[in-house]
């Protein structure tokens, strides 16, 4: 799994947030567009792209995109 590809796919789950705004150190829960619907999109993205399952609780336990990437990679 490559971090840059993960960030790109992660960023695509946001409709109104500029993709350039999302980097590995972005605290994604602080983004204006962050919501439970976005979290569900992230869960679906991880499942379809990496065939791995994550929970809402796991998403909430991470702060940055890189932390979420590391969680998914470890699964």
pLDDT for 33-55, tens place per residue?
A: 999 999 999 999 999 999 999 99
pLDDT band at 1 (very low <50, low <70, confident <90, very high): confident
Whole-angstrom distance, CA of residue 20 vs CA of residue 4: 12
Domain boundaries, the chain: 3-74
Query: Which of the two residues, 1 and 71, has the higher pLDDT score?
Result: 71
- Cβ-based neighbours of 30, under 8 Å, separated by 6 or more: none
Angle at 20 between CA 35 and CA 56, to 5 degrees: 25
In CATH, the number for domain 3-74 is: 1.10.1200.10
């Amino acid at each position: 799994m490559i971090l840059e590809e993960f960030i790109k796919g992660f960023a695509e789950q946001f409709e109104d947030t500029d993709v350039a705004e999302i980097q590995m150190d972005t605290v994604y829960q602080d983004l204006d567009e962050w919501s439970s619907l976005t979290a569900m999109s992230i869960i679906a993205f991880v499942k379809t792209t990496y065939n791995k399952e994550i929970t809402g609780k796991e998403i909430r336990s991470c702060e940055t995109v890189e932390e979420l990437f590391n969680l998914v990679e470890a699964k």
